[in-house]
Amino acid sequence: MKFFSEMSRRMSEKRAYRASRKAKKLSYRTEYVISEDTPVNITEAFRSIKATLSVSVPQKEGGKAIVVTSGYPYVGKTTIATNLALMFALSDMKVIIIDADMHRGRVAKFFHEKSENGLSDYLSGQASYESVVRTSPANKNLSYISCGTHSLRPYELLESDAMKDLMDRLRKEYDYIIVDTPPVLILSDALAVAPYTDGAIIVVRHEMSYLRDIERELDLLKFAKVNVLGAVINDYKDTRKQKEYGGYSYYYDTIEKGKK
């Protein structure tokens, strides 16, 4: 796996450069969390993702764990991970979102809180479980673990036994565990944590993600034996009708295992 992660890093250099240039141009970021004022088409889109996921994650004892991935940055992983977690919480389920993006994690920002004492601190033995698990201000059923202070070895922390033990513990305490990760065609961190989850959803952004990159991401996940649960097409622009909130819409489609 380590060899593979190095290989994927080198192979994706050019595309990473192009994607980061694109992301820099769009570097002004907002955090969008659904509320009572959210247009109904947006909440409905999240509700349908939630409903599809509830049946597509394999049934077994304990909470269900889902990793949210994308090939390249800025496609909306954190937006989707956070709001999906909130939708589960609104249905009275106990949910936790883990910010496994130790490079540029922004989950705490979505809740207007600081990212001190989080996952990297817990996994490196510098913070207790109780100090890193926080209740989100958005909903009492929704907790989160921020990315923590930046770590020099995120991949190794995420594949460690400490991470596995943490996931085992969270499965006993929560109905859903949503893991937000950095883009997998740039950093392999999602591959380190995926084996401790039930599968991945991949996020692509309409008019931004390239088909060949999606194929590469699927190949990478397949090679790493990650169960791909489905894909979310973010920011889908339906030209047939006018959309509210800048064409904000989601589309969920299941992908048969191994099929591109």
**Contact residues: ligand ATP, CB under 6 A:** 29-30, 32, 70, 73-79, 101, 104, 106, 182-183, 234-235, 246, 248
Produce one character per residue of 9-32: b if its CB has 16 or more CB atoms within 10 Å, e if not: eeebeebbeebbeebeeeeeeeeb
Residue 246 contact, options ligand ATP, Mg ion, none, Cβ 5-8 Å cut-off depending on partner type: ligand ATP
Please identify the residue of the shown chain whose CB is closest to the bound Mg ion: 78
Does 82 engage in binding with Mg ion (CB under 5 A)? no
Name the token pair of 112.
């207007």
Does 12 engage in binding with Mg ion (CB under 5 A)? no
Nearest to Mg ion of 175, 187 (CB atom): 187
Helix, strand or coil for residue 5? helix
Q: Where are the alpha helices (DSSP H) in 32-106?
A: 40-56, 77-90
How many other β-carbons are positioned within 10 Å of the β-carbon of residue 259?
8
Least distance between ligand ATP and beta carbon 60 (Å) = 28
Does 171 engage in binding with Mg ion (CB under 5 A)? no
- Between CA 207 and CA 154 the distance in angstroms is 31
Strand extents, DSSP E, 55-198: 64-69, 95-99, 134-135, 142-145, 176-180
Least distance between ligand ATP and beta carbon 253 (Å) = 16
- Between CA 23 and CA 184 the distance in angstroms is 15
Query: How far is C-alpha 193 from the geometric centre of its chain's CA atoms?
Result: 11
Least distance between ligand ATP and beta carbon 27 (Å) = 9
Residue 125 contact, options Mg ion, ligand ATP, none, Cβ 5-8 Å cut-off depending on partner type: none
Mask of contacts with Mg ion, 127-146, x by CB under 5 A? --------------------
DSSP 8-state code for residue 67: E
Nearest to Mg ion of 175, 217 (CB atom): 217
Nearest to ligand ATP of 20, 164 (CB atom): 20
Among 69, 78, 181, 249, binds Mg ion (CB under 5 A): 78
Indicate the helix (H) or strand (E) that contains 205.
Answer: strand 199-205
Least distance between ligand ATP and beta carbon 134 (Å) = 19
Does 69 engage in binding with Mg ion (CB under 5 A)? no
Least distance between Mg ion and beta carbon 58 (Å) = 26
Least distance between ligand ATP and beta carbon 132 (Å) = 20
Strand extents, DSSP E, 100-170: 134-135, 142-145
Interface residues with Mg ion (CB under 5 A) are: 77-78
